Amino acid sequence: MKKIVFLISLFLSTLFADVNWVDYDDAIELAEEENKIIMVMLSREGCSGCEYMKDIVFENDDISALLAKKFISVHVDIQQDFIPSGLTYIGTPTFYFLDKDEKKLERIDGGKNAKSFMDLLKKVIAKN
Amino acid sequence: MKKIILLLLMATFVFAAPKFLMPDEAFIPSAKIDEDMNIQAKIDIAKDIYLYEKEIGIKILNDNGVTIKEIKSPKSVLHHDEMVFLKSPTFEITLQKDSSVSGVKNVELELSYQGCSEQGLCYEPLSKKFTYEVDTSKLSLASSKEVPKLDIAANAAEPSQVENTKESTDVSESDAIANTIGSGNITLILITFLGFGLLLAMTPCVFPMIPIISGLIVSQGNGITTRKAFALSLVYVLAMAVAYTIAGVLAGLFGANLQAALQTPWVIYSFSFIFVALAFSMFGFYELKLPDALVNKVSSSGNRSGYVGVAIMGFLSALIVGPCVAAPLAGALVYIGQTGDAVLGGMALFSMSIGMGIPLIVVGVSAGKFMPKPGAWMTMVTAIFGVMMLGVAIWMLERVVSYGVTNALYAMLGLGFAIYLGVFEKESHVFKKSVAVIVFIYSLAIFMGVLAGSSSLIKPLGFLVPSTTMQGGVVQDTDTHKSFTKVTSIAELDKLLAENKGKKVLLDFYADWCTACKELEHVTFANVDVKNKMDEFVLIQADVTLNGENEKALSSKYGVFGPPALIFFDENSEVLSSKTIIGFIEPAEFLKHLNQL
């Protein structure tokens, strides 16, 4: 059931080119099934870099399309949500790219503009 | 707005992966206590790091009778939509004690803060504790048992100073314009303000100047060349711009209400009188010119006397546009007031006045060009300008005397004009006579309106129509809407605000002599959709018509340079300074604005 809802929302989200954020636990399951990379975004309320990523970078159609195609995106509010073990940070936003076995592939500190974030996603895909 | 600011952030995000400092390298807090038991807390921040003002907290953790009396914090700046410290801030903390406290006490102070790097990383909130042995004999006694407000954010929210109302995360239009001057390059600023001026020229505030400039050109007499008409108009506009700039700079520097400066009754009476004198000269009672001796000194030909007169008139005309307070003007004034940079602010104002004057130059030149051939027509044209100028004189009086008086004067002017046009003459031309009759009847209607106590010039006989049928089908509509409660002082306003805590409040700065205020009332506030939306607000009108001490204090408390200005308060009676509207606003736009609240 969970999966159907997710697939529908995934379908809808690609229509509207929005990033589809899922729970960390679901992400591991989905990454396994769909053979995708997990992207975890650690953010917090009132962080300008996080807002920039959400409002500008993830609104970029190319980026949201690529994220939908190759990644499972997880959003963690470090003040409210459970932080997956081992994901340390010195500030927000911090991005982790993990494989389905929760092995760390890449860690990025801070915000990026759309172009460099795109390059980064491609680099992560190429490496794995 | 938010999007734009976020987009600006992009510029600071570098392409290469930046190396971020660890939190303990980015922020180095320290706090020391001096002999007088005052604490200086400092947060040293690394390059490209900034601190959020609202996240800074200073408090005493242990409760043994020593409390914080006062915290002096440095000025924060607006950065990416937030108030922040870009340079290492130092906070001066003064302590106080309860009356029961004596001897040396252990005080534990906590300094908390949160900031971000310009490269796009925000650090976690951090805090550091400091412990001091405080000699309480050096501390002053707490005046009350009440715990003072410890954090700066709360202090800043107190609406005690005009400055504080500006410390918001968003900026209002005029503040944004003030920021534009602060950041942009000079050419861009001047061009922008020239544009603002051109836009201002489309508002009613410039209309009274049209008869003045055309009258001046026409009164130059026969055979004026286009070139001279242009030169005269230019002199007029330049003089106006200079006067306006001077007045604006002074107002900005001294933080005065520009209106107040330009509408002292005796000033208005004298200028009104000057217009009357000018009008009479147009009627040919006498010729207005400088004494011959002076003219001879200035120029041997006497040809230049026109320029001096025109320049003087231009200078005086700045007074007429004075009451037109619009966002760009207020923005320039705020900039001058905040930075004391009169040069750049003044240049912006001058550029704006020139923009405002360009249409006037066009009017002046065409007045010279299309002037009819000398003859009977010529006398008629000058007479019409004379009447217009008398109209301006009465219009100026509107700011200081009641409507009854000015409307009676308008009526008298109209009747006189009708008689001049030959309303009672048998052999006058049919067209001329019919115009005369219309003017006569209309003026008579105004006069009857005055007698009946009507203040409207557009519907002077409105009192004849029973009020229930005035609005046709939407009668009930008018009845069910809220109306403005008038206040004239801070005390009255505060009382109303206190009574209406928990509700959204709209405060309208209004004055009888303010043309744009009336436009706002008759066009924008009269719109049915706007009325319905406005019912969600408590409506308060700050009537600053009298502009006495109370009214001036009220204006300056909310940073209003002159009406019209609309200030919004949220449910906690806090000013939403970013939502402030200055000047006239169209109904559709206003509705959109209200919907955002």
Contacts of B523 (CB under 8 A, 6+ apart): B584, B586, B587
A40 pLDDT band, cuts 50/70/90, is very high
Asked if residue B470 belongs to a domain, the reply is no
**Are both B328 and B348 inside the same structural domain?**
yes
**Are both B125 and B191 inside the same structural domain?**
no
Check which CATH number belongs to the domain holding B97 and give it. Answer: 2.60.40.1250
Domain count, chain B: 4
Cβ–Cβ < 8 Å for B43, A110: no
Q: What's the token pair of residue B108? A: 């534990």
Cα→Cα distances B89→A91, B76, B113, B165, B583, Å:
21, 9, 11, 21, 37
**Are both B30 and B145 inside the same structural domain?**
yes
| Residue A46 with chain B: CB contacts under 8 Å | 52, 122
* Digit-coded pLDDT (tens) for B325-362: 556 667 777 777 666 677 777 888 888 888 888 888 88
| Residue A87 with chain B: CB contacts under 8 Å | none
Say yes or no for a CB contact (<8 Å) between A93 and B6. no
The DSSP code sequence of B24-36 is HHHEEEEEEE-TT
| Last residue within a domain, chosen from B464, B496, B515 | B464
Does residue A13 surpass a pLDDT of 90? no
Mean pLDDT of A22-49: 88
| Last residue within a domain, chosen from B156, B191, B219 | B156
Asked if residue B162 belongs to a domain, the reply is no
Say yes or no for a CB contact (<8 Å) between B121 and A91. yes
Asked if residue B474 belongs to a domain, the reply is no
| Residue A44 with chain B: CB contacts under 8 Å | 122, 124
Counts of helices then strands in chain B (DSSP H, E) = 23, 18
**Are both B269 and B377 inside the same structural domain?**
yes
Helix (H) or strand (E) holding B204: none
User: Could you tell me the sign of the dihedral formed by the alpha carbons of B84, B88, B92, B93, in that order?
Assistant: positive
User: Could you tell me the sign of the dihedral formed by the alpha carbons of B243, B249, B254, B259, in that order?
Assistant: positive
Mean pLDDT of B56-73: 86
| pTM of the complete model | 0.43
Tokens 């520009």 label which residue? Answer: B258
pLDDT of res. A38: 92
Interface test with B, best of A41, A45, A50, A52 (most B CBs within 10 A): A52
Looking at this predicted complex, what is its ipTM?
0.74
DSSP assignment letter at B203 = S
The answer to whether residue A78 neighbours chain B at the CB level (below 8 Å) is: yes
Integer-rounded Cα Rg, in Å, for chain B is 30
Query: Could you tell me how many CB contacts below 8 A there are between chain A and chain B?
Result: 78
Q: What's the token pair of residue B495? A: 């009382």
CB nearest B122 (choices: A47, A55, A108):
A47
**Are both B131 and B187 inside the same structural domain?**
no
Closest CA to B542 of B485, B589, B482: B485
**Are both B514 and B541 inside the same structural domain?**
yes
**Are both B396 and B421 inside the same structural domain?**
no
Give exposure, A89-125, as e/b (b: 16+ Cβ within 10 Å).
bbbbbbbbbbbbebeeebebbbbbbbebbbebbeebe
pLDDT of res. B411: 92
Asked if residue B171 belongs to a domain, the reply is no
SS3 label, residue B510:
strand
| Residue A58 with chain B: CB contacts under 8 Å | none
Q: What's the token pair of residue B164? A: 């504080």
pLDDT of res. B10: 46
Give the mean pLDDT of chain B: 75
Mean pLDDT of B443-455: 85
First-to-last alpha carbon distance for chain A, in angstroms, is 30
Fold exhibited by the domain A2-127: Glutaredoxin (3.40.30)
Count other C-beta atoms under 10 Å from residue B336's C-beta: 27
| Last residue within a domain, chosen from B383, B400, B417 | B400
Does residue B474 surpass a pLDDT of 70? no
**Are both B130 and B191 inside the same structural domain?**
no
Q: How far off is chain A from B176, nearest CA to CA, in Å?
A: 20
Asked if residue B165 belongs to a domain, the reply is no
Cβ–Cβ < 8 Å for B60, B109: yes
The answer to whether residue B119 neighbours chain A at the CB level (below 8 Å) is: yes
Tokens 């959020």 label which residue? Answer: B52
Tell me how long chain A is: 128
pLDDT of res. B413: 92
Asked if residue B41 belongs to a domain, the reply is yes
Tokens 């999966």 label which residue? Answer: A3
The answer to whether residue B46 neighbours chain A at the CB level (below 8 Å) is: no
The DSSP code sequence of B85-142 is ESS--EEEEEEEE-TT--SEEEEEEEEEE-EEETTTEEEPPEEEEEEEEEEGGGSEEP
**Are both B295 and B197 inside the same structural domain?**
yes
**Are both B395 and B406 inside the same structural domain?**
no
Say yes or no for a CB contact (<8 Å) between A111 and B23. no
Is the link from the previous residue into A93 a cis peptide, with omega within 30 of 0? yes
Q: How far off is chain A from B89, nearest CA to CA, in Å?
A: 20
Q: What's the token pair of residue B42? A: 């400092």
**Are both B286 and B370 inside the same structural domain?**
yes
CA atoms within 13 A on the CB side of B180: 22
Residue B426: domain span: 402-464
* Digit-coded pLDDT (tens) for A45-77: 878 888 888 888 888 888 988 998 899 999 998
Say yes or no for a CB contact (<8 Å) between B20 and A109. yes
In the sheet with B104-113, reading across from the earlier edge strand, the strands are: B57-60, B104-113, B126-135
Integer-rounded Cα Rg, in Å, for chain A is 14
Q: What's the token pair of residue B245? A: 């700039």
Closest CA to B399 of B318, B517, B492, B488: B517
Distance (Å, whole) CA B340 – CA B238: 24
Mean pLDDT of B107-117: 88
**Are both B349 and B446 inside the same structural domain?**
no
pLDDT of res. B288: 53
Among the residue ranges A111-120, B21-30, B194-203, the one predicted with the least confidence is B194-203
The DSSP code sequence of B223-246 is T--HHHHHHHHHHHHHHHHHHHHH
Per-domain boundaries in chain A: 2-127
DSSP assignment letter at A55 = I
